[in-house]
Amino acid sequence: PWIFTEVVAAAEGRQPVGPHATALVDALTVFRNALRETLPDHAFIGRYRGIACHFVKGMRGSAAARSAIGAVKTVEEIGAIFADFVLGEVKIPLRRVAVG
């Protein structure tokens, strides 16, 4: 959703700046709500997990965040791990959930 801001910045000769951490958390919340309205339950959590993983891709320590997001079972846990990671409240390596 922030691509338009980046395009305008590039067109004006400025260095595009990625979204602020709170914008990422807000955007994931918007996607969660939209997915909840449009997808059946069995497809919802997988798609939500995929979007959360996509949003953190390329960030420092994102492999650990993606692993933790992939290991949890609930929407609330996905959102909490995502928010903690993006807002910098969790130090790397992220070990929120025991896998196994």
Place of tokens 């390596």: 93
pLDDT tens for each residue of the chain, 100 residues long: 678 888 888 899 998 777 788 888 999 999 999 999 999 988 999 999 999 999 998 888 899 999 999 999 899 999 999 999 998 865 444 444 444 4
pTM for the full predicted model? 0.75
Q: For the stretch 25-48, what's the b/e string if a residue is b when 16 or more beta carbons lie within 10 angstroms of its beta carbon? A: beebeebbeebeeeeeeeebbeeb
